[in-house]
Structure formats: C-alpha cells, structure tokens
Structure 1
Amino acid sequence: MYDPITIKRQQKLNRELGTIEVPQAFLDKFPDMKRERAEKYFATYVSAVFRVFVIRLAFTSDGETNVSFEKLFNACGTFNYNKVRYSIWNAFKEIYPFMVVVKLGSNLNSKTNYNEKNTRVKVVNERMLEMLFAEKSPQEVYDQLFTAADENAATAAVHIDMDNLARFIGCTQYELEKAPAEATKLRSKLNSNLWQAQLIQKVGIVTEKKFGAAILPMIESPSAFGRTYYKGLNIQNVSKQVRSAVIGHHYQYDMNAAVFATKLYLYGVAKGGDNALVGSLDGTYTRQYLAEKNQIRNRLAKHCFEGVNLPWDSKVKAIKDALTAIGFGARMQGRTWMGKNGLEGTALADILKSPAVRVTFEQDAWVKAFAAEQIEIEDTILTHAETLDGFDEMVEAIRASNEVNGRVTRAGKLAYMYQHYETFIMDIAVGVMKRYGIEPVARIHDAFIVREKLPDRVLDDVYAEWGLRDYMRLDCDEVREWAEASYKRAIDDAAREQAEHHERMKKAETFARMYAIKKTGVA
C-alpha cells in the first residue's frame, strides 16, 4: 500500500515527469547560485507548502481553503545572495505557485477572532500536491499531523476499519473518474473526501504498527461554550462519508432537530416547566417543525425554488440550513448569526444565495410566524437566564472567549446556553447507555455512534431521563459498509450495456417500420 518501494517508485516518477524541479526563472534570477543550493531552497519551499496543505486539502470548499501567509513566510525562512537577504517564500510563490489569493486575510489567530478568515486561497497545483502526498511515507504524514505531545494528550481513539476505508478510497477514485470536468462542486467534494480518507489511512498504518491497532487519536479541545471539540484531523470534522468509511458498519443516533428541541426544553424551563406549554399556543410553530420537519422542508423547497434548475436534494438542504440558521439566531435581514462553529455570516444571504429564492422564503407566512416565534422564545430564555445564579459566570466566560473586543452579544449568550444544554442532554443519554454496558464509538455534539442498534428499553430509559418530553427524540440511521469499487463499476457497466441494448432495439424497430412502409406502402 505505502511500502518503501512504492514511495521510491513515486519519487522516481515525480522526477521523471519533471514536475518537481527548480523553476528556471529562479535559476535565471540567481545565475551564480549553485544548483544544489537552489534545489535546497526549492525543497524548503515545497515542503513548507505541503505541511500547510497536508491538512488543509482535506477541508477545501470548491477548491478553496484558508492559509496564513505569515506562517508560510516564517516556515520557509530566508537566504543570502550577493550580500542581500531574500525570502524563500517570496522567491518561489509566484514563479511556482500552489495557490492564488481569493481574499487577503488578517493573519490573526482564529481562536481569538470570530471573524478571522485568514487568507482565502484557491489551490491551483493539486496534481503536484497529490504527487507529493503519494511519495510521503505514512510516518512522515503522521509526524506532521501528530506530535509526541499530541499522543500523550489523546484521551480517546477511534478504531479505523482499514478494509472498509480502502474500499471507500477505491469508490471515491472511481467516482472522480466518472465525474465530468465541469462538475466542479462534485469534484471538489470528492477530492476533499479522498484526501481525508488517505490521510487517515496513513495514520492507521502507523498506529497499527505502533500500538497494535489502527486508530485515529482524538485530542480533546474543550470549548468554554460547553462542547468538546478535537484538535486536527478527527472523527468530528471529517465528512459523514469519510466517517462511515473509518468506522465501518454502525448506527448513528441524532437528536431530532436538536437546536429546536433544546430551545423548547429551555423555553419550558423558563416558563416554569413543560406543563406550562401543554395546551397553550407557546412554541406552536417550533413544535410543528419538530413533528413535521420533512413535510415543511419539502413544501418550502418546492415553493421557494420553483423554476430554479437545482437538484431536489440541494433545494431541501438549503431550506433545512436556512431554518436551522434561524433557530441559531439568524435574522431575516441580519449580517451574522451564531452557528455551530461560532459567529457566521452573512445570515440567510450565504445560504439562500438567489435573491428571488430568499425573498420568497422570507415572505412565506409560515416562515414569518416561525421566525417571529424564535425571537419570542429566545427573549424568554435570555430573560430567565439573567435570574440564574450562574449568569455572571456565563457572561465572563463569553467575554473571555472573545479576546478581540470582549463583547458579550445576544448571539453569544444563546450559543453558550444552547451548547451547554445540548451537552447536558446528550450526557444523560450516554449515561443511560453505559448503565447497560454500551459504550459509544464516538460523539458528535448532538449525536452519538454505536456498533449495535439500541434496544427499545434503552431508548425508553433515555426518554424517561429526559422527562418524557415528546419533542425530544433520537433519530436512528444505520450506516453500512462500503462495497468494492469493482462492484460499482460492474453495476454501471451493466446499466450502460442495457441502455445501449435498448438503443439498438429502438433503432432496429425504427428500421423495421421503415422497411414495412417501403414494402407495403402503408404507414
């Protein structure tokens, strides 16, 4: 798979293709420099870029990602030529580019600035990076992803199903072969999935040799807002397709429309208990959404995207994301909202990009009532929060997390409360499971993964611990193993042969009719 012979063969191939060579423009600019020295600087440049992209390429969107030019500048270092100091980064970045700037960033640390975007770039030399990746040994990649300190800090690990992961990689490579060049979004998604999977595959090779089992180390990074995140490449931040490839056959349980269920829970507490909501009109539209979310999403997708040439699934997902954004505090005309990953913008305009679609969505009577109800629920929750003993501590935690200006916003308070209660609710569910000897394979905020389907008695106990609230339910999704790429190829070949056969039969029938008309003169 990634044995030394394969790696050396890839390095030889890269050299033969002439793609990893010092640019002639550099040699021309510094004619008195020895070639060995020029190659050393070029190798430094390539290595620095690869170290940045080894993880970034796993999370590109439409071929774009965020990087820090300051870090690249420092990582490359400098050299002297004829008593003049030059930056290695500046010397190569334009004559041998791996990226083009989309939007120049501030180079601030994203942890201290919710609005930090760093420098947005579009990758322009993916083929080279893929070749570099292929010639890197698993140990080299592992060392760039995990330090010794990371290993010691790892509090958990996820077992990697290496066979299933290999099948997924094969299937993704096959899908890339089929994907037309103009399908840029699809190809970007497939490339991102492939990069994530291949990174984890190399991690698995190293950990299997090192620890006796293929595992993905999970290094906790707790948030002041209540959630537990993980550093670097982890089971939370990969795509759901890659997650399924890593874990293999499993069952994933998600809280039904978690943001709205959690808000109703907090709303009930603020109102003096859930009984205060029963029989009242409070939370009517939110409860309706929890009970009929698929029907509501489908109706809005059909209504808002009428006449728009877009796949049905994409329409429904856009509506789902827009409603979720409103649930997290996005305003119809707002600029930003406190999403699952911090302050995000520009509210609905980033989700429903078509002005016509957005206006239709915003003017829908149900959406208007639903959005107004969210504001009323949030106002009630925040007013109640101010009466609680821990309110001052909450405010200080939010202020401390915003090191840029220390502002404590409405969106920040809502996100803090939501994420703490989300964690509290899911801790209860996991606690019930553990009483039955069931350990989750992984937790992803408002979801958890287990190997076997939970018995009804376990779910009943979870719901009982949740206070038998009818709006707090777990949706179960069985995720099966991936098939071999050859199986997919055989299915596609059979479908193509059948289509070609139908076309031949159609032509034969047309020919027969024309022949009969010619012979008989009767149409």
Structure 2
Amino acid sequence: MYDPITIKRQQKLNRELGTIEVPQAFLDKFPDMKRERAEKYFATYVSAVFRVFVIRLAFTSDGETNVSFEKLFNACGTFNYNKVRYSIWNAFKEIYPFMVVVKLGSNLNSKTNYNEKNTRVKVVNERMLEMLLAEKSPQEVYDQLFTAADENAATAAVHIDMDNLARFIGCTQYELEKAPAEATKLRSKLNSNLWQAQLIQKVGIVTEKKFGAAILPMIESPSAFGRTYYKGLNIQNVSKQVRSAVIGHHYQYDMNAAVFATKLYLYGVAKGGDNALVGSLDGTYTRQYLAEKNQIRNRLAKHCFEGVNLPWDSKVKAIKDALTAIGFGARMQGRTWMGKNGLEGTALADILKSPAVRVTFEQDAWVKAFAAEQIEIEDTILTHAETLDGFDEMVEAIRASNEVNGRVTRAGKLAYMYQHYETFIMDIAVGVMKRYGIEPVARIHDAFIVREKLPDRVLDDVYAEWGLRDYMRLDCDEVREWAEASYKRAIDDAAREQAEHHERMKKAETFARMYAIKKTGVA
C-alpha cells in the first residue's frame, strides 16, 4: 500500500513524536478523507492491537511472542474510500507498526504445538507501546485479561503487594534508562518484565476496588499430563523477577534438579525399590549430578566456552539448560524433545548455538556417559510403565492431547510420567505443610512459595514421606522486597562520582609527576 521510502519516513516521524496520533502517511494516502474519520480508523487500529496484543505482552520472550494476524485483521475491519474497500489493518500495520513478523504461523488449532498456531512476531516501537499501555484504564486492561466467566471460574488468588510492585516498576524503568540501545537482549527482558508488572498493577487496582484486596485471579487449567496450569496472566508464567515483585518477601522451595530426582525415583520403582540402586552402579552419573551439580556445571562451562566472550553466568546457565534438556530426552543429534512446557526446539542446537561449543560439550567424556545413562534410565522406566494397570489410559490421554496427528511418542510418554510423578511428589510436600497449618502462597510445578521459612521439623517430615531418598531435597531461596529506584540511582551516582574522583586524582598525579620531571629533569 505504501512505498518503502514513505514507510521509512513515517516510522522515523513516529519515533520523534511524543504522542500517539494518526500517521501523516495515511492522511497523504487518502487526502479527501476528513480528519475525524481518519482518526476514527486509526483509533480502531490501535484499539484492535491493544485488545489482541495486550494479552500476549505478558508472554514475550526476547521481545518475541505469538499473535494471530487473522484476529487482528478481523478486529480492525474495513473502510470505503472513493468506492474502494480497504483493510484498516493493512492501512496502518506498515506505517505505524507495533510488531514485525519473525515467522508466519500455520494457524493450526493445536494445543500441543502452540508455537505453530499463530505468527511469531518481534515487538517494535516499545515507547509507543508503553504509552498505549499507560493510557488504557485499569478496567480496560482487566476486561481484556479476564472475562466474567474467567473471574467466576477462579479457584484461587494471589495477593499483590502493590507497594513492592510499584518499586519494581520504578527500578525496571530506571534499568531501561541505563541500558545501552545496542543491548537488545537485556532491553527485551526488561521491557517484558515491565509490561508484565504494569498489567498486574492495573489488575490489582481493579480487584482492590472490586474485592477489597489487590489480588491476581488464578483460573485453573488442568493438564492431562498431570500438572495444573492457569489461564492467562498468572503467577506461574510471569518471570521470576515479576513474581518476586507481586508476592513481596517470601521463601521459594525448589526440588533439587527436579527432572533427575523424579527420574531416579521412577527408576528405583522400576528396579523394585530404591534399595536395588543402593550399592549398585545404576544411575551413577545422575546421582553424581544431583550431588555435585554446581561443580559439574562450572567445569563444563569453563571447558566448553574456553575463549568465548560471554558472561560467566550465561555460560553456566547454557550448560545447565543443555543438561536439563538431555534429562528431558534431548539427543545429541538434531531432533525435538518433550520439555517442561511441551514440544521444544531442535535439541541442543537451540541451547548451545555455537557449533564449536556444542561439539566440545558433546565430546566430553562425562557428558557422553551421562547422556547414555539417561537413555538407559528412560528405557527402564518405559518398559516398566507397560506393565502398569494405567498404561492404556496413559496412552489414550497422550493421543488425545496430540491434536496434530494423535501420535503417541516416546517423548510424550516420558513427559506424561514425569509430570504426573512430579505433581504426586510435590502434593506430598504440600500435604505435610498443611498438617502444620502452613498454606503455600503459590505452586510452580516442582516448586512452592511460602511466607515464612519452613522449620527443620517440617522438612524432616517431608523427606520422611518421600522415603528418605538422599537425592530428593528441597533448595530454599529467600526472596526479599525491592528497593526504591531512587536508592539504586543514589548508589549508581555515588559509584560514578567515586570513579570520576579516582580519574581526577590519577590525572593530577600524572600532571604532578610530569611537572616534577620538567623542573628537575629527573624521571
């Protein structure tokens, strides 16, 4: 509809403007259209983007998310100009974009292959998107996130610490101010956190007025694979930073390397009980990883990323993710695997993107033995599963969940068993807590959140209920409240002033030394 020069010129103008207003390129394209009519169509476009896109804002990853262009097209509608019909979506999407296409979706109606259902897009024009979100009332946001049916279906709610959330928003905005323009990954993460937090803040404003307390409704969406998920924006699917902002001061308990602990549990059951594993070589490398995971990750990070310019934490995280992928069934060769959230990408290639790093990782002797052991454990678990009474029901549940082709795969069976037993194990832990009158604030699959640190006697009872298995342990992380952005700014200012002072002193010393040499002629 527009030539490339017009598009580029208008997009530059959008960046320079401080308001959301009808693009000049549209007015030039339709010169006989009244201004009020043009503004009406632009408002329709912006509202449609908001209605469809606001829900997806909560689920951005690296600045990308999935949207339905069909929904956007239909939501915008059409208009007539000089007896020609035009699409409102097509009239504005290029000259006032909020997103660009990364990968066109197939529009498959599939729950198990969600990333192919809609088009993958990258968020652009973050500043205008921020303005759009800011100008929408809390009630408008709430109505888009939660329908009346959803609200009535809510089985639980998480209290929102509005003061802590406001401090987090301020800190995130400050971090965005500091972040260099070229730090795209960091900025995408910060923007995603900011959008999630601002959406929840608006939800809190509405629920505080409506129910007398700021809460985030939790609408259950049970999975056939055993887990309980929640619809829409919820405490499970926000980032850990936003979760900490919403809940405030708390303690989070995660099962140590949950996938491997659960697999060893199933392996022991298949072998006739854990006593059959004690003193044997079965599960040697998996047990070692559970006992020495930090040392193993650090060694592999140093070995595999030698000479690679990457932050140390990123190296360790990549190794952790690669080992976890192997635990979930990823193979060294390129193929998909069933991860925590369903069918994941092409095995290790999506995690260790550098071929050199990946080859070094795959050729490490410990990694080879570890990966081979995972196959042995999985084979034993699946063979044992076929002897169980509920095997046929499991197969049918997996078949029904795969709406694409109904196939029952090895990865699907492993994911089904893992998630059921993960839920079973964590139900035991929560049940013990409730006997002591302790209610979890929230559950996140292999983790739960509580307000106060659990007493040792509670943990002892949990471990006893788990059969005193030495590899099944809970890691505790205390999460504190967020500080004011002004506090962080003051610390940064003080650090900058100190650095500037050191630089001035260094220059003064250099000047004094040069002056002494000039006066005395002695170096």
CA contact (8 A) 2:256 2:475 kept: yes
CA contact (8 A) 2:112 2:343 kept: no
Alpha-carbon shift at residue 130 of structure 1 (Å) = 1.2
CA contact (8 A) 2:110 2:404 kept: no
Alpha-carbon shift at residue 267 of structure 1 (Å) = 0.1
Alpha-carbon shift at residue 340 of structure 1 (Å) = 0.6
Alpha-carbon shift at residue 231 of structure 1 (Å) = 0.7
Alpha-carbon shift at residue 7 of structure 1 (Å) = 30
Quick one: distance in 2 between partners of 1:250 and 1:153?
A: 27
Alpha carbons of 1:81 and 1:466: their partners in 2 closer, same or farther (altered >3 Å)?
Answer: same
Quick one: distance in 2 between partners of 1:26 and 1:226?
A: 51
C-alpha distance after superposition, 1:411-460 (max 9, x if no partner): 00000000000000000000000000000000000000000000000000
CA contact (8 A) 1:225 1:415 kept: yes
C-alpha distance after superposition, 1:68-98 (max 9, x if no partner): 1111112112234455443222232223322
- Worse-superposed segment, 455-464 or 163-172: 163-172
Percent sequence identity over aligned pairs: 100
Normalised to the residue count of structure 1, the TM-score between the two structures is 0.95
C-alpha distance after superposition, 1:112-164 (max 9, x if no partner): 53562521122222222111111111111111111111110100000001111
Matched residue SS, 1:25 = helix
CA contact (8 A) 2:220 2:230 kept: yes
- Worse-superposed segment, 52-61 or 4-13: 4-13
Alpha-carbon shift at residue 492 of structure 1 (Å) = 0.9
Quick one: distance in 2 between partners of 1:360 and 1:8?
A: 44
Matched residue SS, 1:221 = strand
Quick one: distance in 1 between partners of 2:179 and 2:21?
A: 31
CA contact (8 A) 1:290 1:471 kept: yes
CA contact (8 A) 2:332 2:348 kept: yes
Partner residue in 2 for 1:198: 198
CA contact (8 A) 2:385 2:391 kept: yes
Alpha-carbon shift at residue 470 of structure 1 (Å) = 0.2
Alpha carbons of 1:7 and 1:256: their partners in 2 closer, same or farther (altered >3 Å)?
Answer: farther
CA contact (8 A) 2:48 2:75 kept: yes
Alpha-carbon shift at residue 25 of structure 1 (Å) = 3.6
Quick one: distance in 2 between partners of 1:18 and 1:261?
A: 53
CA contact (8 A) 1:287 1:471 kept: yes
Partner residue in 2 for 1:316: 316
Alpha-carbon shift at residue 101 of structure 1 (Å) = 1.4
CA contact (8 A) 1:226 1:416 kept: yes
- Worse-superposed segment, 288-297 or 91-100: 91-100
Quick one: distance in 2 between partners of 1:371 and 1:66?
A: 33
Quick one: distance in 2 between partners of 1:457 and 1:313?
A: 34
CA RMSD of aligned residues (A): 5.2
CA contact (8 A) 1:441 1:449 kept: yes
Alpha carbons of 1:6 and 1:35: their partners in 2 closer, same or farther (altered >3 Å)?
Answer: closer
Alpha-carbon shift at residue 32 of structure 1 (Å) = 4.4
Task: List gaps (5 residues or longer) in structure 1.
Answer: none
CA contact (8 A) 1:14 1:131 kept: no
Alpha carbons of 1:497 and 1:19: their partners in 2 closer, same or farther (altered >3 Å)?
Answer: closer
CA contact (8 A) 1:114 1:342 kept: no
- Worse-superposed segment, 239-248 or 102-111: 102-111
Quick one: distance in 1 between partners of 2:15 and 2:342?
A: 44
Alpha carbons of 1:226 and 1:25: their partners in 2 closer, same or farther (altered >3 Å)?
Answer: same
CA contact (8 A) 2:328 2:338 kept: yes
CA contact (8 A) 2:165 2:201 kept: yes
CA contact (8 A) 1:337 1:345 kept: yes
Quick one: distance in 1 between partners of 2:38 and 2:359?
A: 57
Partner residue in 2 for 1:455: 455
- Worse-superposed segment, 507-516 or 149-158: 507-516
C-alpha distance after superposition, 1:290-342 (max 9, x if no partner): 00000000000000000000000000000000000000000000311100110
Partner residue in 2 for 1:278: 278
Alpha carbons of 1:303 and 1:258: their partners in 2 closer, same or farther (altered >3 Å)?
Answer: same
Alpha carbons of 1:26 and 1:489: their partners in 2 closer, same or farther (altered >3 Å)?
Answer: closer
Alpha carbons of 1:5 and 1:122: their partners in 2 closer, same or farther (altered >3 Å)?
Answer: closer
CA contact (8 A) 2:164 2:246 kept: yes
Task: List gaps (5 residues or longer) in structure 2.
Answer: none
Alpha-carbon shift at residue 472 of structure 1 (Å) = 0.1
Alpha carbons of 1:210 and 1:5: their partners in 2 closer, same or farther (altered >3 Å)?
Answer: farther
CA contact (8 A) 1:69 1:107 kept: no
Alpha-carbon shift at residue 493 of structure 1 (Å) = 1.1
Quick one: distance in 2 between partners of 1:31 and 1:312?
A: 57
Quick one: distance in 2 between partners of 1:29 and 1:521?
A: 76
Alpha-carbon shift at residue 102 of structure 1 (Å) = 1.6
Normalised to the residue count of structure 2, the TM-score between the two structures is 0.95
Alpha carbons of 1:359 and 1:44: their partners in 2 closer, same or farther (altered >3 Å)?
Answer: same
Matched residue SS, 2:116 = coil
Alpha-carbon shift at residue 169 of structure 1 (Å) = 0.8
CA contact (8 A) 1:65 1:120 kept: yes
CA contact (8 A) 2:161 2:246 kept: yes
Alpha carbons of 1:449 and 1:236: their partners in 2 closer, same or farther (altered >3 Å)?
Answer: same
- Worse-superposed segment, 47-56 or 510-519: 510-519
Alpha carbons of 1:417 and 1:2: their partners in 2 closer, same or farther (altered >3 Å)?
Answer: farther
Quick one: distance in 1 between partners of 2:183 and 2:257?
A: 31
Alpha-carbon shift at residue 50 of structure 1 (Å) = 1.4
CA contact (8 A) 2:112 2:342 kept: no
